[in-house]
Amino acid sequence: MSKDVIFQDLALRDYKETWDYQEDLFQQILDIKIKNRRENTQLPTQNHLLFVEHPHVYTLGKSGDLKNLLLNEAQLKEKNATFYKINRGGDITYHGPGQLVGYPILDLENFFTDIHRYLRTLEEVIILTLKDYGLKAERSKGETGVWLDVGTPFARKICAMGVRASRWVTMHGFALNANADLGYFDNIVPCGIQDKAVTSLNVELGEKEVNINEVKTKVKHYFEDLFEAQLTRKTSTNR
């Protein structure tokens, strides 16, 4: 069992290119696990954490409803946005510049084999990060992700989550609005939830822009702490 996690910051990168990269890493881990089971070997599996910002894109999860995308193909082009149906859980969400997207590709057998605990731990990473900025973030019952002012008329989501897992290997992850253009959320029913708003860290702090590198550092710190992991930076992002 290895809790070492290879960390890569991919900066701004196309969604489909990053999705394909995730799939490659995901399959590499699965192949090792299948080989270990078939041949009774104990080859170690790697763990990965990717940080990325995407150009404007909408993604729809397996359980999502296409009606929650409020744009047609022509309107997507007008907004310089793309759209993908993907293989994570959850409904529709938006990714774009100013949003910190994190993709943990982990073999949970190196950590704990509990998907519910995995999601709650990811949420806690974000909750603790936002606490450092003086925000009381929390969970909303029955709604994965991280929210502010839960239980009030002003409830708003600041971080969306959606994952895929097979043989205890994870992919996809979280999207934390740091300096996001919230106008793009007006084109969807975020996560299929009609009665709650979306917000961004810079909006909550009343700032034009927060230091995204500082946010990344905090997220990495709490990820290491809560997963009891050791992040090792991969300097090259070439596939």
Measured N-to-C along each axis, helices 212-227 and 115-131 cross at an angle, to the nearest 10 degrees, of: 140
CB atoms within 10 A of CB 184: 20
Nearest 5 degrees, angle CA 12-CA 239-CA 121? 65
Q: Which residues are annotated as a binding site for substrate?
A: 88-95, 160-162, 173-175
Cβ atoms of residues 98 and 177 within 8 Å: yes
Of 127, 191, 210, 215, which one is the catalytic site residue? 191
Asked if 191 is an active-site residue, the reply is yes
DSSP assignment string, the chain: ---EEEEEEEEE--HHHHHHHHHHHHHHHHHHHHHHHHHT-------EEEEEE-SSEEEE-TT--GGGB---HHHHHHTT-EEEE-SSSSSEEEE-TTEEEEEEE-BGGGT-S-HHHHHHHHHHHHHHHHHTTT--EEEETTEEEEEESTTSTT-EEEEEEEEEEETTEEEEEEEEESS--GGGGGGB-GGG-SS-EE--HHHHHT-S---HHHHHHHHHHHHHHHHT-EEEE------
Q: Which residues are annotated as a binding site?
A: 88-95, 160-162, 173-175
Which positions are catalytic?
191
